Chain A
């Protein structure tokens, strides 16, 4: 298991588009993004509108080609069609053929993967049922609501029982119930050992269910890592307020860690520590020495702070 290649490795990809009159203007949509997505995780690609999420996912799924950089899916270059045989993709706001039914579309999707037709039939039934569109399986998809299209889109993305599932803004356009159902489905996929990558511009979607996240803004990767680590990384410092002989406290603290900041204040002593490990040790010592702790605070940046900070970070945008 462990020596199998990662589901998705993105190395320093860049992409610009020609726009405007006579295609003279160049828009850099993605400016060197690298990501590694590990087996079995739910990976959230978070970023405001226009950040470059869709552009990135389109490069991954072979719809557009990177100007620079490399993408490999289970070790195969994304430029090869076969790299996508274990991939399921739900595009942003999927749109289907007007006169085809969901069942027909699923059978075509299965055919493209060269899956035997009875397997496709069986799997279609399961998916239509699971995604709650079985009742509409035989009506033309032009009559579907946005939520139903999203569900049909997910069904076609799962028809090949993919190992890697890529969803572009899967929660948008769904009502609260639909959102909760979709979250359940994503969590179920992880239970089955699948890898899920999904993009969103809404923080809460990502915070709830992701193991790892990447925050991108203006075509650049701002933060990436395990959600828990990112949250920890955001904790700028811990504060301990204690009362007692200042010098004793100070010595005690310095014996734990040299870098601890100890200040005398009107009401006692303020201790500032950078990691939870050091603060724990100090707290233990203080308790052992019967020094009264008046207050303990962790000043922690939420993912939201991180997200807002990253996406409004203008300093390194135009250069």
Chain B
């Protein structure tokens, strides 16, 4: 545990002090404030729109942040050769992956935390009480972050940041649009076996629509934080799914890195 914690702590320290982080945090705050104006100019009921837009923006920004920071985290270590200083010590490579992932997640969670604080402040000022829905939404947002970070770390264990970025964006886009894709497949008049095989293929992709505050539940039924939001059992199972899915990807990343020459 010592090694994972040490690597994680320093990944966090390194990330949180970078200029990138400050601009991210600043941008995050701006985004949340923008939500307020978006809600203001909309014609709908203010409360509904602000909750929707606010959580939507936090979710989207957390997603972008995961892709952006995740794609380079392992590559940078190899490119700058800082990894030599770590892996020449008695530490297994899976622990390195675990530590980097933990540190990165801690960093992104911090940014999400900052956004959330500003958002809650905003809600408070407007006398909107979000109830427990905001907590569920946050858990789902963080679950999605875990999944996406795991995917980026998996790809970056064997390919360049650019390709990692492209592949991750592809996976994320499909993952978020899965209910629509399934819908399209069902409508098309295809032979059954093609449809069923495409459907099972889609299962491989991360079911990211589960984690969107304004998304879908397991059955593809639309949910919204302002009206019929998901229940705790859904939140629990989605999180469990996220942990399992990311666990598999991180496991694969560890195996790949363990076999790799660090040249």
Contacts and interface: CB of A to CB of B under 8 A. Distances in A.
Contact of A114 (B2, B7, B82, B84): B2
Given A98-B18, A108-B6, A112-B7, A89 B88 contact: yes
Interface stretch (A55-63, A121-129, A285-293): A55-63
Given A82-B90, A85-B90, A111 B6 contact: yes
A112 B3 contact: yes
Contact of A111 (B5, B80, B85): B5
Interface in B1-43: 2-3, 5-7, 9-10, 13-14, 17-18
B91 interface: yes
Contacts of A17: 261, 263
B180 interface: no
B90 A100 contact: no
A83 interface: yes
Contact of A95 (B14, B18, B82, B86): B82
* Most chain B CB atoms below 10 A, which of A17, A108, A156: A108
A99 interface: yes
Contacts, number: 93
Interface in A87-145: 87, 89, 91, 93-100, 104-105, 107-114, 140
* Most chain A CB atoms below 10 A, which of B6, B10, B88: B88
A81 B17 contact: no
A98 to B, nearest CB: 7
Contacts of B82: 95-97
Given A82-B90, A99-B14, A113-B90, A91 B85 contact: yes
Contacts of B2: 111-112, 114
A90 to B, nearest CB: 9
Interface in B147-205: none
Contacts of A111: 2-3, 5-7, 9
* Most chain B CB atoms below 10 A, which of A61, A83, A111: A111
B88 A112 contact: no
B3 A91 contact: no
Contacts of A62: 87-88
Nearest to B5: A111
* Most chain B CB atoms below 10 A, which of A81, A94, A95, A160: A81
A39 interface: no
B64 interface: no
Interface residues of B, number: 26
Contact of B89 (A93, A94, A109): A109
Nearest to A15: B261
B90 A95 contact: no
A275 B167 CA distance: 70
A61 B5 CA distance: 22
B236 to A, nearest CB: 33
B81 A113 contact: no
A218 interface: no
A107 B9 CA distance: 10
Contacts of A96: 82, 85
Contacts of B88: 61-63, 84, 87, 89, 91
Interface string A146-164: 0000000100100010000
A63 B14 contact: no
A96 B85 CA distance: 8
B9 A108 contact: yes
A175 to B, nearest CB: 23
A111 B4 CA distance: 9
In the A-B complex, list the 7 residue pairs whose CB atoms are closest, starting with the nearest.
A111-B6, A99-B17, A61-B88, A64-B261, A114-B2, A89-B88, A91-B84
24 contacts: A58-B262, A63-B88, A63-B262, A64-B263, A65-B261, A84-B88, A84-B90, A89-B88, A91-B85, A94-B81, A95-B81, A95-B82, A97-B10, A97-B82, A99-B13, A99-B18, A100-B10, A105-B10, A109-B85, A110-B6, A111-B5, A112-B89, A114-B3, A140-B17
